[in-house]
Structure 1
Amino acid sequence: MLVTDSSTIKKLLVESKTIAIVGLSPREDAVSYRVASYLQEKGYRIVPVNPRAVDQLILGQQVYPSLESLPFPVDIVDVFRRSEFLPDVAADYLKMSTKPKAFWAQLGLFSQEALDMLEDAGVADIMMDRCIKVDHQMLVEDDTNLACEI
């Protein structure tokens, strides 16, 4: 179900520890990198997923080529891929051996097809077109300087 209520999102962010970020760029000027860096500074374990960067470390972390290749469970899958790729990422999410608590598509990203796939599979917490950094600042940190840095 598409989640929009603040209490559910806050609970998810407070209870989660590990976030796989699909499309995390190794470029420090990229929005995905800045958001991931913020989350890492707040204590989350960041797991980069980017098939074009598997030979690199991003934010000091090993990069994985796909969600299916992750050898450990994650709490949230946060996606920085264009909307037309969300159904592919949703399909990969559904193939994971241990299902994360939530599927999160960043600000500006939405796919009805991906949403339908995830809902049909029973995924309870789906966020789309939301910035995880802004939600964390607003709901967990209560920061007045909100910016997704796009």
Structure 2
Amino acid sequence: MEEAWLKERLARARTIAVLGAHKDPSRPAHYVPRYLREKGYRILPVNPRFAGEELFGERVVGSLRELQSPVDLLDVFRPPSALMGHLEEVLALKPGLVWLQSGIRNPEFEKALEGAGIPVVADRCLMVEHRRLFLGPIPL
């Protein structure tokens, strides 16, 4: 995926749904969306374990089907083996981009999304890439 294309997509995005959002601040599924919220994105948390609670200033919903707003980007924190179980609802949601976090790859899922015209970034951390693209290299 071209860097300029990716940067442009992230710059245009306003609403990010987070599948597998977590309320434990030590988990990536919490601190990555928290970082994104601090950068101005609206975060829509999705996790049946925390449905009805509040995270990132929004009510947590149990599934992607419950989202009431259009989604520019879907950030996924689910194991690769669970992805095909979400395929139907992701296709119905029609996000502008699906982002599979570090360590998450599922070629069948990725191919299905791309076949439906939904671009996919896999096995990359959205927070790390956002920092790199918008803040530049972090000095050691």
Pairwise TM-score range, normalised by the shorter structure: over 0.9
Calculate the aligned-residue CA RMSD, in Å. Answer: 1.5
Q: What TM-score do you get using the length of structure 1 for normalisation?
A: 0.88
* AA of the residue aligned to 2:112: M
Distance (Å, rounded) in 2 between the aligned partners of 1:65 and 1:145: 40
Report the counterpart of residue 32 of structure 1 in structure 2. 29
Is residue 2:120 matched to residue 1:122? Answer: no
Deviations 1:108-146 (A, max 9, x none): 1000110121122122x2111011101100001224169
Q: Percent of aligned positions with the same letter in both sequences? A: 36
Structure with greater helix share of residues? 2
Distance (Å, rounded) in 1 between the aligned partners of 2:33 and 2:11: 16
Contact 2:50 2:60 in 1 (8 A): yes
Instruction: Extract unaligned runs of 5+ from structure 1.
Output: none
Instruction: Report the number of matched residues.
Output: 140
Indicate the SS of the match to 1:10. helix
Report the counterpart of residue 127 of structure 2 in structure 1. 133
Instruction: Extract unaligned runs of 5+ from structure 2.
Output: none
- Greater RCO (CA < 8 Å, at least 6 residues apart): 1
Q: Pick closer, same or farther for the CA change 1:145–1:63 going to 2, 3 Å.
A: farther
